[in-house]
């Protein structure tokens, strides 16, 4: 069944109001019409199986048939991603969302190029939402505004902080604990990597430099690889896929 994110206030109401942007997508992309059923989500874990009862020019309505909530695995993965060039951040957000990353912080570092924040932010939000819809996540990951490396390092409070560092770091197995941490922050460099000063600064802020082996991976590949390993060891990559009673 098709899924679609709507604002929390809209999902909580009866009937559920379908606003212009939502309507456009339901009509032209998903080809839904009055009488069709779908799953509406608020991005915070509340879901509703609903039937479309009206599709006007600017507004539509959906009647709730069943409401329930779903929780994601509690592991909080926070990806601090050195901004890559061009459109690659979009790939990072899309695949990171599929891999269950709960928070993204795009990072400006010495070797990244500045991007125009406003225009990108709206597009990035859309990409995260579309990826969450497609992979059936009940909750939307949060996307911070781009931040400087120093600011991000200072703010990070996760009990386990990792920095992917291709120079002078230790294998992952030497730093990963047996007990699942509640949250893990992991820092990935842009195409040019981090400078030695930046790597030292990250270590001063408690980030452990770790290696992913002898091959130098592209920035986006490195983040996905670590996200998948962490999700497998401590998260839900090794669990059964379908919550039994929910409509699909």
Q: What does the alpha-carbon distance between residue 32 and residue 181 come to, in Å, rounded to a whole number?
A: 43
Interface pick for ligand SAM out of 174, 216, 232, 243 (rule CB under 6 A): 216
Among 194, 207, 224, 234, interactor with ligand SAM by CB under 6 A: 194
Output the smallest distance, CB 76 to ligand SAM, in A.
Answer: 20
Binding to ligand SAM (CB under 6 A): which residues in 162-191?
164-166, 188-189, 191
Pick the piece of the chain touching ligand SAM (CB under 6 A) from 71-79, 92-100, 145-153, 206-214. 206-214
Among residue numbers 23 through 52, which ones bind ligand SAM (CB under 6 A)?
Answer: none
Read out DSSP for the chain? Answer: --EEE--HHHHHSSSEEE-HHHHHIIIIIS---TT-EEEEE-SBSEEEEEEEEEE-SS-EEEEEEEEEE----S-EEEEEEEPPSTTHHHHHHHHHHHTT--EEEEEE-TT-----HHHHHHHHHHHHHHHHHHTT-SBPPEEPPPEEHHHHHHH---SEEEEE-SSS-EEGGGT--SSPPSEEEEEE--TT---HHHHHHHHHTTPEEEE--SS---HHHHHHHHHHHHHHHHSSTTS----TTS--
Binding positions for ligand SAM, 217-236, rule CB under 6 A: 217-219, 222
- CA distances to 29, 117, 145, 160 from 122, rounded to whole Å, are 19, 9, 11, 30
To the nearest whole angstrom, how small is the minimum distance from the Cβ of residue 111 to ligand SAM?
8
Torsion angles phi and psi, residue 98, rounded to 5: -60, -35
- Asked if 213 touches ligand SAM (CB under 6 A), the answer is yes
Stretch of residues binding ligand SAM (CB under 6 A), selected from 24-32, 73-81, 175-183, 214-222: 214-222
56 binds ligand SAM (CB under 6 A): no
195 binds ligand SAM (CB under 6 A): no
Q: How far is the CB of 84 from ligand SAM (least distance, A)?
A: 8
Please tell me whether residue 104 binds ligand SAM under the rule CB under 6 A: no
Q: Is there binding between residue 193 and ligand SAM (CB under 6 A)?
A: yes
Q: Judged by CB, which is closer to ligand SAM: 60, or 84?
A: 84
Report in angstroms how near the CB of residue 184 gets to ligand SAM at its nearest.
Answer: 15
Interacting residue ranges for ligand SAM, rule: CB under 6 A: 164-166, 188-189, 191-194, 211-213, 215-219, 222
């Amino acid at each position: 069944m098709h899924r679609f994110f709507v604002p929390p206030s809209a999902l909580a109401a009866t009937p559920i109001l379908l606003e212009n942007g939502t309507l456009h997508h339901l009509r032209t992309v998903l080809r839904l019409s009055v009488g069709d059923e779908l799953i509406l989500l608020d991005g915070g874990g509340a879901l509703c199986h609903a039937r479309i009862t009206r599709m006007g020019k600017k507004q539509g309505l959906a009647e709730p048939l069943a409401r329930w909530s779903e929780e994601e695995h509690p592991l909080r993965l926070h990806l601090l991603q050195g901004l890559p060039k061009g459109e690659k951040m979009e790939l990072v957000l899309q695949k990171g969302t599929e891999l269950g990353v709960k928070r993204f912080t795009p990072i400006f570092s010495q070797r990244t190029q500045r991007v125009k924040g406003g225009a990108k932010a709206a597009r990035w939000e859309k990409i995260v939402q579309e990826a969450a819809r497609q992979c059936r996540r009940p909750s939307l990951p949060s996307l911070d505004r781009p931040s400087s490396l120093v600011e991000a390092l200072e703010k990070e409070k996760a009990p386990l902080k990792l920095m992917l560092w291709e120079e002078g770091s230790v294998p992952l197995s030497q730093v990963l604990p047996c007990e699942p941490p509640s949250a893990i922050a992991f820092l990935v460099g842009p195409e040019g990597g981090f400078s030695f000063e930046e790597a030292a600064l990250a270590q001063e802020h408690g980030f452990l430099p770790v290696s992913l082996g002898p091959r130098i991976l592209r920035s986006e590949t490195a983040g996905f690889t670590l996200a998948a390993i962490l999700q497998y060891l401590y998260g839900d990559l090794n669990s059964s896929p379908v919550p039994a009673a929910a409509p699909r």
